[in-house]
Amino acid sequence: MLLYLIRRGASLFIVLFGLAILIFVIARIVPGDPARIALGPLATAEQVTDLRAEMGLDEPFFIQLGTYLSGLAQGDLGKSLLTSRPVMDDILGALPATFELVVFTLVIQIVISIPLGILAAVYRNTWVDNVIRVVSLVGIVTPGFVLAILLQLSAAMYFGFFPITGRIDPSIMFDADITGLLLVDGLIKGRPDVVGDALRHLFLPAIALAAGGIGQVVRITRSAMIEVASRDFIEASRAYGIPERVVRFRYMLRVAAVAPLTILGLEFASLIGNAFIVEFVFSWPGIASYGVRTILQKDLNAVIGVVLVSGVFFVVANLTIDIILGLLDPRHRLREGKSK
């Protein structure tokens, strides 16, 4: 198991390294001078030359790449032209908000979709199953921003209980300086008002973000449970007189969980991408909002930083899922080990 972890960790570094180079190259080979783009058409040639020197753009390409990578190794992503602060600081400041939203969304997805998938499988081809299948299809095909807007609309018109923008009520004085996560810091500091308000703000964006994944996971859970139910060892366990509850939740679920877990991992990784839309609609002060803002301002250092951080998120999420799968199913460890 340890060897497996080391091997997976090493491949993680290779992928991240490749990712950094790739993004840097894309950002540099595109037509147009980043300094000119950043300053706009009204800047003088002198200003552009100065900024080029400051950004190191007058160096040869490989020196630039080297400087960038060595900076990256020390956690330095360069300076943001928009906020004139180090990109790393900006991103670290915005990350907790996104992390809180994404993790909360994942919890909602797990809590809703796995039981629904099991329910649909147990009551296969009855009305329960049909309703669940239609609901998950609607979840899959509804674009995140359409759902977000519909939720905002109905919240504004029918239930004012859920706020439609922001992360916490501005009138609540609270400094989340321990982890940056409002829910966690609120609990640590014993502030139920903060936790309650943060939950209310989280609800709508999280639902908008969760819907697509819920649909996918319900489908996968359902078909995995149905497939496992027809295996011999389940029949055998029943024949031994093992209680139905144990058969379903101990034996079947453990085997059937592999497929939904893989999808949840992919889903978790793509949540950060979809968060771009949802954060934008709900004015959520996270990394995606920062990303959209810097993209609109053509702030290249910040854009590279945001894409890189979301890439890290993506890769680490996939790795975590691989490790969980390895724990659940020893064959997975062996297979991965052999192929690499």
Which of 78, 186, 260, 311 is the binder for another protein (CB under 8 A)?
311
Which of the ranges 92-100, 187-195, 203-211, 307-315 carries the binding residues for another protein, by CB under 8 A? 307-315
CB distance 124 to 226 below 8 Å: yes
CA gap 77, 79 in Å, rounded? 7
Please tell me what DSSP assigns to residue 248: I
Q: How many residues does the chain have?
A: 340
x/- string (CB under 8 A) for another protein, residues 245-274?
------------------------xx-xxx
Which of 53, 150, 178, 246 is the binder for another protein (CB under 8 A)?
150
Q: Is residue 300 part of the contact set for another protein (CB under 8 A)?
A: yes
3-class secondary-structure state, position 79: strand
Q: Alpha carbon of 40 to those of 80, 95, 208: distances in Å?
A: 16, 29, 36
In the chain the first and final C-alpha atoms are separated, in Å, by: 15
Query: Which amino acid, one-letter code, is at 165?
Result: T
Q: Is residue 296 part of the contact set for another protein (CB under 8 A)?
A: yes
Which of 143, 166, 330, 337 is the binder for another protein (CB under 8 A)?
143
Residues binding another protein: number (CB under 8 A):
51
x/- string (CB under 8 A) for another protein, residues 35-64?
--x---------------------------
Q: Give the contacts of 161 (CB within 8 A, at least 6 positions apart).
A: 200
Q: Is residue 10 part of the contact set for another protein (CB under 8 A)?
A: no
Which of the ranges 42-50, 66-74, 170-178, 295-303 carries the binding residues for another protein, by CB under 8 A? 295-303
Q: Is residue 103 part of the contact set for another protein (CB under 8 A)?
A: no
CA gap 293, 79 in Å, rounded? 15
For tokens 């198991």, the residue is 1
Largest CA-CA distance found in the chain, in angstroms, rounded: 85
The contact set with another protein (CB under 8 A) reads 15, 18-19, 22-23, 26-27, 30-32, 37, 137, 140-146, 149-150, 152-153, 156-157, 269-270, 272-274, 276-277, 280-281, 288, 291-292, 295-296, 298, 300, 303-304, 306-307, 310-311, 313-315, 318
